[in-house]
Structure 1
């Protein structure tokens, strides 16, 4: 049966005499003459002419060969992309393993960090206790310093008193020496008279 080419401008469904149905979308379609000449088809499509002759098959074959070559190229590209995808998958697996190792390291470091934090807290508490002790000792030291200052002042006062007493003692000693000298001077004539009297008696007795 002869063929014709129609250009559908409004999509439609065509029911054949045998009960079969075919959907025609917008665009060119090759159909039997009976279908092309049907009034319902003409209402939805324009007849562009008879179907291309067998001689035009070469053009179709050229297009088929071109598309087949493109398809082969696409298949080659797909294989290459699949290879790249597998390599990327291996890289992903490697990076995932490295990431898991890093996570493990992070957990270990966090544990160490927590231990260090506990040590820091303990040392900080000890330092605070030491600071408290230092403050207490500084307070005691200040009290001791005040006591020392007080005792030093008392000692200085005592030293001053001692110096004053030593001065008085020296003056008393000088007074005593002076009085002793005066007494000796006064006693000297009496002793001479006594000695003279003894000598006189001794002579008389002879």
Structure 2
């Protein structure tokens, strides 16, 4: 297990579970959380034994998105604003260009930036308790491109321009959720998929994942351009 209080990493042979561990704040993605998780993901990516990573949240939330208190701080602190956006850019770049498959084990609500995390993964195992929405559409930029690549322009426009909340069943219907399972089956189902992924040699997975990234047409650059 990781010693970092904001993220837990558990190895399972050729794949690992990375858990966003801030349940008291609904796993809100503060700068510190984003950096801790990105660091953990980078370490795993650099390990030639890693073929797949499962990303999940501690407690009943997958993630409530970016920490809004930090945006308030950024308005008054230019240096922190620079740090915040640099962290956000690194965060999305890490997820969107990850060299091996990422599986989102969506154990509960995935809102705003938490919704984006699920979308940036390659496969989504979704609890029946999960919901998805972009409530930030009324006060900030919404990440559009990765969602469009999964569900198409019509649905992505509706979700990003109206903030519509969808439940797990609707997420499965539109192709956002690959697997829809009971809450206590999310991690076990993700583990089954991870083991399936790990049947392939790592070099083949890396080459296939590179094709996925290239064919998505998404440039993992500035967060506000996504």
For the criterion TM > 0.5, the same-fold answer is no
TM-score between both structures, scaled by the size of structure 2: 0.16
More strand by share: 2
Max Rg structure: 1
TM-score between both structures, scaled by the size of structure 1: 0.18
Q: Which has the higher contact order (CA 8 A, sep 6+)?
A: 2
